[in-house]
Amino acid sequence: MTLSIERARTRRPVTWLTLIGVLLLPVVIGGILVASLYNPVERLDGLQAAIVNEDEPVTIDDQLVPLGRQLTAGLVEGGEDQPSNLTWTISNADDAASGLADGTYAAVITIPENFSAAATSTQPGETPERATIEVQTPPDSLIVDDAITAQVTTAAAALMGEQLSQVYLENVFLGFTTLGDQLGEAASGATQLADGASQAADGATQLADGMPQLAAGADGLASGAGELQGGLGQIAGGIQSSADGAGDLTAGVNAGAAELAKTGIVPDPLQQGADGAAATAVAAKTASNETVAALRALYGECLAAGGDCAALLDALTLAGTTSAILTGDETPQNPGLVPLTEGVAGGLKLFDKEATAEFAKQFRDIGAGASQLSSGLDQLAAATTQSADGAGQLSSGASQLAGGITQAGDGASSLADGVAQLADGTTTLADGLDQASAALPSYTDGEASSLAEVVANPVEADGVGTSLFGASAIPLLSTLALWFGGLATFIALQAVSRRALTAREPSALLALRGFAPGAALGAAQGILVAAVVQIAASYDWGQWWVFAGVSVAAGVAFAAVNQALVAVFGGAGRWISALIGVLAVATGVVSTVPGVLSSIAALMPTSPAYNGMVSALTETGGVGAAFAGLVVWAVLAFLATVLAVARRRTTSARAVLSAAPAAA
C-alpha cells in the first residue's frame, strides 16, 4: 500500500514499511545506546580481571599481617557500597600476562611482594613507605573498561588505606591518653620530689646554721684538750713526786723498822716522812679526780661533735686507772697510795703508844709494799706523761676538726642554696607536667575508634550515582536518538515537494505538506523513545510524563530543523545535521571540551531538548525554557523551509526551455 507522500531522491511512492522503518530507527538507536551504556556498573561481572598476589606477609607483635591477601579478598568479594564486582581470577604472573595478551583479562592487578611491609612501615623505628599496586590493561581495551578497572581498584586500595589509617590513628589517640596519664604520674612524682627537695633544703639550711656551733664546740674541745695536756703534766709531776715520796717512805720505813727492831722506839724522821707521803697522796688523788671529770666532759663533747675521740678515750682510761691507783680498789695487790700512806702514818702514831714486836714485822712488810708502790708510781707518771702528749695531739686534731667544720659549714650553705634551686626547678617541672597532662586529650577505646574512623576519612561524598554518565545519560542518549531520527525522516521523505513550481497552493501550505508527515513521525518517535527509557530506568510516572512531553516536542522540532536543512542546503544539509549530532555527543559526555565547541553546541537545536529532558528527570528547573526553545527552533526552521519552497517556485526561461520537450 502506497501513500501520497513524496520519497526523497526517487519518484517511487512511500510505503508504510518505509514509515515504520523511519519511525523505529530512533527507537532502535536509543534502545541500543541505553541498553549498552546506561548504568554499566550493574554488569561488572561481565568484565574479566586477574589478581597476581606476590605479597610477603609481615609479623607485627607476634601476629601475622597478610595485607596482600586482605586486599585480594576485598577486590574479589566487593563491599557493602559496591555489592556487584568484576569477575576476578586469582592468577600468577605468567598466566596473567598471557590472558592480558589474548584478551581473556580486561585488566591485571599485581600486588608486589613488599606491599605488607610498605603498608605497615608507619610502625616506630621504620622508614615510612607508600604501598603501591600495579594496574595493567591491554592496549586495545575499550574506552570505559580502563576507567571502570581503575575506579574499582582505586576504591579497594583507598578502603584498605583508610582501614590502616584508622588503626594507626586509633593507636595515636589512645597513645595521647596513655601519655597524659604518664605525664600525670610524672607530675605527681615531680611534686613529691619538689617537696622532698624543699625539706632537704630546710635540712641543709639547718645544717649550715649548726656548723658554726659545731665549729665552736670543736674549738672548745681543742682548748679543753690543751688544758687537759697541762693538767696531765701536773698530775704526772705530782705522781712522780708521790713516787719519790713513796721511795723516801720505803727507805724511811726500812730504816725505822731496823731502828725499831733495835730500840723498839719509832724515830721522828720516820713519822714525818709518813705524814708527808700521806699528804702528797691526798693531793694527787684530788687532782686525779678533777682530771677524770674534765676528760669525761671533753669525751662527751667530742662524741657530740662527731670527731675522732680515740685519743681522748685512751686519756680518760689512763686517768681512771691513775685515780684507782691513788684511791685503791680494796685488794691486797693494790691497796692504794692514799690508804697506804695514811695507814703508815696512822700506824706509826699507834706504834708510839703500842709498840710490839709483831708490828715491827708488819712494818717491814709495809716498807716492801711501799717500795713496790714507788716503782708503780714511776710507771704511772710515765704513762700520765704519754696521756699529756695524747691530749696535745687531741687538741691539734680538734683544731683541724674545727677548721674542717667551718669549711663544711660553707659547703652546707652552698648545698642549701643548690637544693633550694632544685626544689624551685622541680616545682616548675611539676607545674609544666600538670599543664601538659591537662592539655593532652583523653579517649576511651570507643571514642578513639570513632574519632579515628572520621579522621581517616574526613570527607565523604553523598549522593554520588553509579551510572556511567550520571543523571545526564538518559537525556543525552534520547536527544541523540531523536535527532538522528529526524535526520532519517528527511533522508527517506522529500523536504520540498517536486510540484512546488507548478502547484497553485501557497508556499507555506506546500512547506506544511512536507512538514506534516515528518512532524507526525517525530512526535511518535518521541513517545516511543520515552517508552524505551521508562522500561530501562523505571522513572517516577510524574517525571516520565514531563520527559515524554519534552521528547515529543523535541521530535517535532528536530523534524522541522532537518526539513529546513535539506530544503535550504540540499544534500549538504544532511551532512550538517550529522555534524550537529556529533557535536551534541562530544559536548554532552564531558565538561572539559574546548569552550568554542561548548558555545556552538549551546546554540544548536539539540541544546534545549537535552536541557529540558535533564530538568524533567531531576529537580532542576528549565522545562518551560526548553519548550520555548524547541518552539522557536521549529518556527524558525519552518520559515526557512517556506523560503526554500518559495525559491523553488521561481525559475528562468532557459530552465523552462531545457525542461520542455523538443518540437516535432
Which carries the bigger pLDDT value, residue 3 or residue 282?
Answer: 282
- Classify residue 161: in a domain, yes or no: no
- As a whole number, mean pLDDT of residues 344-368 equals 59
Instruction: Tell me the HSE value of 204 on the side-chain side, using a 13 A CA sphere.
Output: 21
Looking at residue 218, its pLDDT comes to: 66
Same-domain check for residues 89 and 198: no
Shared domain check, 403 and 283: yes
CB 294 within 8 A of CB 224: yes
Residues 27 and 47 in one domain: no
Choose the most confident range, by mean pLDDT, from 164-178, 308-322, 483-497.
483-497
Is residue 170 assigned to a domain? no
Looking at residue 645, its pLDDT comes to 86
Both 309 and 220 in a single domain? yes
Q: Which domain holds residue 273?
A: 182-437
Using 50, 70 and 90 to split pLDDT, how confident is the model at 300?
confident
Q: Is residue 134 situated within a structural domain?
A: yes
Based on the domain organization, do 233 and 312 belong to the same domain? yes
Mean per-residue pLDDT for 287-304?
75
pLDDT digits (tens, 9 = 90+) for 453-468: 555 545 443 444 445 5
How many percent of the chain have pLDDT more than 70? 57
Helices and strands in the chain: count of H runs, count of E runs: 18, 8
| 162 in a structural domain | no
For 174, the 3-state DSSP assignment is helix
Structural domains in the chain (count): 3
Question: Last residue of some domain: 391, 415, 437?
Answer: 437
Residue 265 sits in the same domain as residue 404: yes
At residue 429, the pLDDT reads 81
Q: Whose grid coordinates read 605479597? A: 55
Q: How confident is residue 565, by pLDDT bands cut at 50, 70 and 90?
A: very high
Average pLDDT over residues 89-94: 89
What's the angle, vertex CA 211, arms to CA 209 and CA 212, rounded to 5?
85
| pLDDT, tens only, 504-528 | 778 888 888 888 988 998 999 899 9
* DSSP string over 414-463: HHHHHHHHHHHHHHHHHHHHHHHHHHS----HHHHHHHHHHHHS-----S
Residue 134 pLDDT > 90 = no
| Plot region of 84 (φ>0 → left; ψ -120 to 50 → alpha; else → beta) | beta
443 belongs to a structural domain: no
Average pLDDT, the chain: 74
Residue 302 has pLDDT above 70, yes or no: yes
Lowest mean pLDDT among 20-29, 98-107, 263-272, 290-299: 263-272
Note whether residue 490 is domain-resident. Answer: yes
Within a domain: residue 164?
Answer: no
Residue 26 and residue 75 share a domain: no
Domain boundary among 109, 141, 173: 141
Q: Which CATH number do you get for residue 54?
A: 3.40.190
What's the longest Cα–Cα distance across the chain? 231
Distance CA 9, CA 594 (A): 38
Same domain for 69 and 211, yes or no, is: no
- End of a domain among 378, 412, 437? 437
Look up the pTM and report it.
0.52
User: Does 245 lie in the same domain as 191?
Assistant: yes
In a domain, 535, yes or no: yes
267 and 285 assigned to the same domain: yes
Say if residue 581's pLDDT is above 90: no
In which band, very low, low, confident or very high, does the pLDDT at 630 lie, cut at 50, 70 and 90?
Answer: very high
Pairing of strands 2-6, 13-15: antiparallel
191 and 227 in a single domain? The answer is: yes
Are 402 and 281 in a shared domain?
A: yes
User: In this structure, what CATH number is given to the domain that contains residue 421?
Assistant: 1.20.120
3-state helix, strand, coil in the chain (%, to 5): 75, 5, 20
Report pLDDT digits (tens) over 140-174: 666 566 666 666 666 666 666 666 665 655 566 55
Q: Is the pLDDT of residue 426 over 70?
A: yes
> In 625-636, which positions are buried (b, 16+ CB within 10 angstroms) versus exposed (e)?
ebbebbeebbee
